[in-house]
Amino acid sequence: METNYLDKAGSWLEGSYDEETKREIRRLIETNLKELEDSFYRNLEFGTGGLRGVMGVGTNRINKYTVGMATQGLSNYLKKSFKGRSGLSVAISFDNRNRSKEYAGITASVFAANGFKVYLFDELRPTPLLSFTIRHFHCVAGVMITASHNPKEYNGYKAYWEDGAQITAPHDSDIIGEVEKITDPSMVHFTGGDSNIKIIGKEVDEEYLKAILSLTLSPEMVKKHDHFKIVYTPLHGTGIKLVPEALKRAGFKKIINVPEQDVIDGNFPTIKSPNPEEASALAMALKKAEESGADLVMATDPDADRLGVAVRNQKGSLVLLNGNQTAAILTYYLLERLKEKGTIIDGNNPHYYMVKTIVTTDLLKSIANKYGVEMFNVLTGFKFIAEVVRQNEGKRVFIGGGEESYGFNAGEYVRDKDAVIACVLIAEAAAWAAERGKSLYELLIDIYTEFGLYKERLVSITKKGIDGLEQIKRMMKDFRSKPLQNLDGSQVVLIHDYKISETVDMISDLRYKIKLPQSDVLQFVSSDNSMVSVRPSGTEPKIKFYFGVKTEISSAKDFAKADKILEKKLDKLVEQISLL
C-alpha cells in the first residue's frame, strides 16, 4: 500500500499538473505522510451520491484534476452510450461551497471541448432544479457540483442520467472504468469549446416553479390561512434562490428569514454543520421563531434537496421532526387530500404508487395500505426511488416518496429529492391541518393513533481514512459471522442480508430471495417488530445503525407515555449494539 500511494503521488509530480499542486504534494511528502497516503491510496469512486470527498490534491480528493478527469471519462462514456444521436447536451449546476463555481466551470469546459452543448447556470441553484433542467432541455446527462450536507472541507460531483436521476448501475461502475483510463491531465480536453456553453438562469427557474406548484392541493386553504408564520433558513446555501419565492407563489405571506444565514458562504460561518438533520443547524431559526411567534420552521441543506422541520407541540414548545416524521406527514397529507378531492378512492388505487427506502419507517407503508396505494421498498439512496419512477413512467402515477435522511419528492418533474416542493407541501399541510383545527404536531399524533406509534433513531459512527474503511469492513463482516440473536430480549426472527439478496427466517430456517440489487446492508427484525439495520454510508466515512420500534396507542392522550416507553427501548437497543 505504501509503494502504491507514493507511486501515485510521484506520478502527479512528474505529470501535467500545475506547480501549485506539485508544491502541495512535496509539502505533504516532507511533513505529513499520513495525509499524503489518505490523499492518494485510492481513486474516488461513484457511491450513492456520485463523487464526494475532501478538497485537496490527490486521487482521493476533489480538485480540478479529479473533476476534469471524471468529466472526460463521463464524456467518453456518454458518446459510447448515445452513439448515433446528434446534438448531445448536458446541464450543470453548483451550490455555495468553496470552489463549486470553479469546478462547475471546469466541468462545463471539458464537456464543451468534447462537443457537447452545455447548459450552465449563471449562479448557484438547487439540486432538484438541475434534475428538472436535464429533462426540460432533453439532455443526456447532468452534473451538480455539491457535497450536500457534508462539512465545509468537502465538495462533490453528482452525476445524473437523461431521466434526471442520479446514475445507477451499471452506468456508475462503467463510468469509473472510463475515468480510470484517464491517467494524466494531458488526456483531458480542458479547452476549445466555449461556444458550446449556454448560460441559463431565471427563465428555467420560472419553468420549474410553474411545474412544481402545479402539484399543490389546497390553495383555497392556504388563502384562508395565509397569515401562518413560517421561519425559513437556507443554511447559507442554494435554497435562498427558490424556496421563499415558491412559498410566496403558493400563497404564504408571512415568511420570516434568518438574515445571517441568507448569506451565501461556503464556510458556513453561523453553523457547525450545514446538515438539517442536526439540531444545532436550526438553532438560529428556532430562536427567530420564538421571537416572531412562528409555528413552523424549515431549513434546507446547501443544495436544497433535504429538509429539516420544527413544529410546536401541545405545550407550545418548538420540537424538531425527524425525516421519518416529516415523510409520514407528507405521505398522509397527499393521500388523504387526493381522496378528499376524489382523485383516489378509498382502498383500491392500483394506478397510483409511492416509494420509500428499506431503512425508512414502515409507517409510510401502513399509511399507503389504507388508501390501496402500493408502496415500493427500495435500497437506500434516492436514485433507487427514481429508478422505480422511470420503470413506471407512462404506466402508473407517482404520488411521492421519501427517505429517513430528510429527503422527499412529489410528482414526476424532478427525479431526486426536492426540498423546494417539500417546503411548499409541508406549509400547505399545516394550512390544511389548521382548517381542521389542528397543528402539524397534533396531525402527527393522529397518524400514530390510527396507524401505530413508530419511533426510530439513527446512530452514525465516523471512521475516517484508510484505517477507518477497514474497520467498517470488519464490523460488517462480524455482524454477518455473528448475527444478532435478540433485540432487547426479543428474539430475532428475520435477517435480511441485501449483500447476498437473501432473507433468513430464523424460526423455520427457510430462505427467501430478496428481489433488489445487492447492497451491503443487514437488517435484523425481532418478534416484537423491533428492527436494527446496519450499513456503511455510500457518501461519507461512516457506518450507520438504524433502530426502529413500534407500539399501538388508542388515543392521543396515550401518546406521551407510549413515546417515553419506546424512547427507553431505543436507548437499550443502542446500548446493546455499543456493547458488541
- Evaluated on CA atoms 362, 364, 365, 369, the torsion sign reads positive
Residue type, 219: P
Helix (H) or strand (E) holding 256: strand 254-257
Cα separation, 217 vs 402, in Å, equals 18
Note if 508 is an active site residue. Answer: no
Largest CA distance in the chain: 71
- Give, rounded to a whole angstrom, the gap between the first and last alpha carbons of the chain: 30
Query: Left if phi > 0, otherwise alpha if psi is -120 to 50, otherwise beta: which for 457?
Result: beta
Please return the burial class of 415, using the count of CB atoms within 10 Å of its CB with bins 0-12, 13-18 and 19+: buried
Cβ neighbours of residue 211 closer than 8 Å, sequence gap 6 or more = 132, 411, 413
Distance set, CA 481 to CA 233, 474, 491 (Å): 45, 10, 18
Tallying the residues shown for the chain, one arrives at 580
Catalytic residue among 93, 148, 218, 530: 148
Helix 419-435 vs helix 202-213: angle between axes, to the nearest 10 degrees?
40
Any idea what DSSP says for residue 50?
B
Residue type, 334: L
Cβ neighbours of residue 289 closer than 8 Å, sequence gap 6 or more = 229, 231, 256, 295, 296, 297, 310, 318
Q: Which residues are catalytic?
A: 148
